[in-house]
C-alpha cells in the first residue's frame, strides 16, 4: 500500500504540533508532501524547517497543484467549515482542529464588529447548527475519512481511565473536567469574529468533548447505543475586566479579551441522569491545567493530562534550568515545576495523527470523528444560550 500523502494547511502553533506527529510515523505509511500558509513565505520557511517538498500560498493552490490524499487543517476557527467543505468536494480525507465550526458573523459583518456583544446567542446557535449540518453533509456525501483533532481522546491517561471504567463496569455518575491556563497566545482567540467564542470554545471544547465521549462509550458498552447529553446550564464571565484587576501594575495572565469570555462553566445533564461539570478559563497561573475525573458507582478515576508528576523539579531561581524546556505556559522555571518528558505524547497529539493515518489505510473512520465534532459544537452554543438567558436549555431538539 502506498503511503498516505498529506497536505498541511496552516503553519502556526497547531501545525507545529501536527508535523511532529507525522514525523513519528514511518515514511512508508505517511508523508507530508506539501504545506500552505499566508503569506506564502511563512509556508516556505515552515517547509524548509521540516523538509516538506512543496509550499503554497493558499489551500486552493495546494489542492490544485499538490498530489495529496488528505489535508490537515491547522487554521483559525472561522476557516474550518469552508476548508472542510473544499477538501470534501476535492475528495480529500480531512483532519481538522477543534471546533468543527461555529458562528462568526454573517456575510455583511465587518471584521472589527464585536458580534459577541451584539448578536443574541440564540441566533448564533441557529446559524451554527445550519453550518454544522452543511459541513456534515459535505463529509458524508464525499465519503471521506474525517478526523476531529480532539487530542484528549488519545491522551494515555484518558485512554487508561476509560479502560478502567470499562473494566469496573460501574455507572459513571459524575464527570469533572477542566482546561485552563494563563491565556491563549493566539490573538484571534480574543474576538468572537474569528474564534466563535471565548474560553469555553477555545479551551472548554476539549474537556467537554472528552466528557461527552466517555458517556457515549459507556452507553454503547452497556446498552448498544450512546448515552447522550440531554440539557445544559452555563455561566460565563470576564474576570480580567474586574476593576481592581485592571488597575494592577503587572498582569501575569493575558488581557485584551474583546467580546468573548475568559472563564466559563458548563453543567451537562445526560439522558441517564448523570452529570458532567466542565470548566475553562484564561486566568489560571502555573501552566496548562488539564484533567478529567470520573466518579463511578464502584470506582473513582482521574486523568492528569497536564501537569503530571512523572518528573518533578525544584530550582530556587528561574534561570537555573535555562534553556531546558519545562512545560507549556508556565510563568517561571523557579520553584517546584513538573517538567514533561514528552508533553506531546502525554497530551495525545502523536496518537491522534497516527489514528487519522491508520483510518485512511484501514478504510475506517477515526476514533475521534464527525459525530463528536457535531455534538461538541451544538452543546457549546446551547451553553452560551443558557448563560445569556439564565435558563436550562433542552438539548433534545438541538442534537436531533
> Which residues are within 8 A (CB) of 250 and not within 5 positions of it... i.e. 6 or more apart?
none
Could you give the angle at which helices 80-89 and 121-142 cross, rounded to 10 degrees? Answer: 20
Cα 155 from Cα 271, distance rounded (Å): 26
> Which residues are within 8 A (CB) of 305 and not within 5 positions of it... i.e. 6 or more apart?
152, 155, 157, 158, 290, 291, 292, 346, 347, 348
Cα 261 from Cα 380, distance rounded (Å): 13
DSSP H helices, the chain, are: 13-23, 40-50, 59-65, 80-89, 115-118, 121-142, 156-168, 192-195, 199-202, 205-223, 243-246, 343-347, 349-362, 370-389, 396-399
Cα 38 from Cα 258, distance rounded (Å): 24
Fold of 151-399: Dihydrodipicolinate Reductase; domain 2 (3.30.360)
Q: Report the chain (400 residues): mean pLDDT per 10 consecutive residues.
A: 96 93 97 97 97 97 97 95 98 96 93 94 98 98 98 98 98 98 88 96 98 98 98 98 97 96 98 98 95 98 93 94 90 91 94 98 98 98 98 97
Q: Are 56 and 65 within 8 A, CB to CB? A: yes
Cα 392 from Cα 400, distance rounded (Å): 18
Cα 220 from Cα 315, distance rounded (Å): 48
pTM of the model: 0.95
| Omega within 30 of 0 (cis) for the link into 99 | yes
* CA proximity to 355, closest of 165, 160, 151, 77: 151
- Residue 348, by phi and psi: left (phi above 0), alpha (psi -120 to 50) or beta? left
> Which residues are within 8 A (CB) of 130 and not within 5 positions of it... i.e. 6 or more apart?
none
Q: What is the DSSP string of 61-86?
A: HHHHHS--SEEEE-S-GGGHHHHHHH
DSSP 314: E
User: What's the chain's length in residues?
Assistant: 400
CATH code of domain 4-149: 3.40.50.720
Q: Are 87 and 136 within 8 A, CB to CB? A: no
Cα 29 from Cα 72, distance rounded (Å): 16
> Which residues are within 8 A (CB) of 80 and not within 5 positions of it... i.e. 6 or more apart?
73, 96, 97, 99, 100, 101, 135
Indicate where the chain has its CATH 3.40.50.720 domain(s). Answer: 4-149
Q: 214 is written with which cell numbers?
A: 466517555
Phi, psi of 165 (to 5 degrees): -60, -40
> Which residues are within 8 A (CB) of 229 and not within 5 positions of it... i.e. 6 or more apart?
212, 215, 268, 269, 270, 271, 375, 379, 395, 399
Indicate where the chain has its CATH 3.30.360.10 domain(s). Answer: 151-399
Quote the pLDDT of residue 340.
Answer: 86
Q: 374 is written with which cell numbers?
A: 457535531
Amino acid at each position: 500500500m502506498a503511503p498516505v500523502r498529506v497536505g498541511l494547511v496552516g503553519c502556526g502553533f497547531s501545525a507545529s504540533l501536527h508535523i511532529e506527529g507525522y514525523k513519528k510515523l514511518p515514511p512508508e505509511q505517511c508523508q507530508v508532501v506539501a504545506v500552505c500558509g499566508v503569506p506564502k513565505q511563512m509556508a516556505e520557511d515552515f517547509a524548509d524547517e521540516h523538509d516538506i517538498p512543496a509550499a503554497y500560498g493558499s489551500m486552493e493552490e495546494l489542492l490544485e497543484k499538490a498530489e495529496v490524499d488528505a489535508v490537515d487543517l491547522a487554521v483559525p476557527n472561522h476557516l474550518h467549515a469552508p476548508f472542510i467543505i473544499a477538501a470534501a468536494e476535492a475528495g480529500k480525507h480531512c483532519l481538522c482542529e477543534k471546533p468543527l465550526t461555529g458562528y462568526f458573523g454573517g456575510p455583511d459583518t465587518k471584521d472589527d464588529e464585536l458580534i459577541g456583544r451584539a448578536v443574541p446567542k440564540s441566533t448564533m446557535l441557529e446559524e451554527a447548527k445550519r453550518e454544522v449540518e452543511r459541513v456534515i453533509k459535505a463529509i458524508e456525501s464525499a465519503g471521506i475519512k474525517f478526523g476531529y483533532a480532539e487530542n484528549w481522546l488519545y491522551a494515555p491517561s484518558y485512554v487508561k481511565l476509560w479502560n478502567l471504567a470499562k473494566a469496573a463496569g460501574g455507572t459513571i455518575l459524575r464527570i469533572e473536567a477542566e482546561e485552563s491556563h494563563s491565556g491563549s497566545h493566539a490573538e484571534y482567540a480574543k474576538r468572537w469574529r474569528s474564534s466563535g467564542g471565548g474560553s469555553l470554545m477555545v479551551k472548554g471544547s476539549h474537556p467537554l468533548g472528552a466528557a461527552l465521549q466517555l458517556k457515549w462509550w459507556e452507553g454503547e458498552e452497556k446498552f448498544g447505543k450512546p448515552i447522550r447529553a440531554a440539557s445544559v446550564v452555563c455561566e460565563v464571565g470576564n474576570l480580567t475586566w474586574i476593576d481592581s484587576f485592571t488597575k494592577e501594575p503587572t498582569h501575569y495572565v493575558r488581557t485584551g479579551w474583546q467580546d468573548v469570555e475568559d472563564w466559563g462553566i458548563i453543567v451537562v445533564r445526560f439522558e441517564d441522569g448523570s452529570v458532567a461539570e466542565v470548566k475553562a478559563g484564561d486566568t489560571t497561573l502555573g501552566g496548562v491545567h488539564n484533567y478529567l475525573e470520573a466518579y463511578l458507582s464502584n470506582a473513582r478515576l482521574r486523568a492528569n493530562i497536564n501537569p503530571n508528576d512523572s518528573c518533578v523539579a525544584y530550582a530556587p531561581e528561574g534561570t537555573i534550568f535555562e534553556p531546558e524546556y519545562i512545560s507549556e505556559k508556565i510563568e517561571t522555571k523557579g520553584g517546584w515545576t513538573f517538567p514533561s518528558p514528552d508533553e506531546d505524547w502525554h497530551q495525545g497529539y502523536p496518537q491522534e495523527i497516527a489514528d487519522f493515518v491508520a483510518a485512511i489505510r484501514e478504510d475506517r473512520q477515526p476514533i475521534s470523528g464527525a459525530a463528536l465534532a457535531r455534538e461538541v459544537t451544538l452543546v457549546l452554543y446551547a451553553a452560551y444560550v443558557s448563560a445569556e438567558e439564565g435558563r436550562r436549555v433542552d438539548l433534545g431538539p438541538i442534537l436531533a
